[in-house]
Amino acid sequence: MTVPRVVVFLVLFAAVLPAGCRRKTNPVTEYLKSVEVQCETEEQRQTVVRALQDVLTLPEQELGRRRYADYAGRPEAWDLPTLLARYLVPDRQGRTFGPDFYADVKSPVVQPMVRRILGRLAGRDSATR
């Protein structure tokens, strides 16, 4: 029994299509490249530190369930992407984390960037307000 050429073509096309459609960049790395940390209070700084430590230590699914205090300290008001977008201001307006935030933030290329930001927060350098 021979397989029609159309079926072979469709099977090959279906196997190759996903590989050709993969993103070449991670939007979280683009966002975090040159962020400025903007915290007005020690409580805000601690909330950001806790969130970034969660990025380094918690699995993707748990990160999706975590909630953090907002500017006013209301507990469990913000999810992780909202918190980071409010306190980590990118170098260029219009940058976003993209639709696959939780998968992207766990990427091995993002983890060193998160550690660098944590180091800046621990040192309370001029990038932290």
Q: Report pLDDT digits (tens) over 58-96.
A: 999 999 999 999 999 999 999 999 999 999 999 888 899
Helix (H, G, I), strand (E, B) or coil at 62: helix
Residue at token pair 């979280």: 28
Domain boundaries, the chain: 28-123
Whole-model pTM: value is 0.77
Dihedral pair phi/psi, residue 78, rounded to 5°: -120, 145
Q: What is the pLDDT of residue 88?
A: 97
Say if CB 70 and CB 78 are below 8 A apart. Answer: yes
